[in-house]
Amino acid sequence: MSDTWKAVELRVARRLGGQRVGCTGLNTPDVTTEWADVECKHRQALPKWLTTAMEQAATNCGQGKLPLLVLHEHGKHDMLVVLRLSDFVEWFGGEA
């Protein structure tokens, strides 16, 4: 399968057991499941600091635990949680 943004959305939908919504011209998610609406972002390359931090989380993770990366922006109260899709599917379900 090609690596276009459409193909990525379709792959995510399949992995999560949902369906790709596609471009509707409205404010809709890229992928929807029974329990989640997903926004997908496809880039040629992700920032190196981000992938390195995720690798560090996975390396330092204890046996049987879920590796999470938490991102905080200075001056903000809420934070982002990042995890690998493969880990998410393993822990919370979806397609293999």
Q: Which amino acid, residue 56? A: Q
At residue 12, the pLDDT reads 96
Strand bridging mode 19-20 / 31-32: antiparallel
- pLDDT level of residue 93 (50, 70, 90 thresholds): confident
For the stretch 41-52, pLDDT in tens is 999 999 999 999
Q: What size, in residues, is the chain?
A: 96
For the stretch 24-78, pLDDT in tens is 889 999 999 999 999 999 999 999 999 999 999 999 999 999 999 999 999 999 9
Q: Where are the beta strands (DSSP E) in the chain?
A: 19-20, 31-32, 37-38, 69-71, 80-82
At residue 23, the pLDDT reads 84
- Whole-angstrom distance, CA of residue 94 vs CA of residue 34: 11
- Whole-angstrom distance, CA of residue 30 vs CA of residue 9: 7
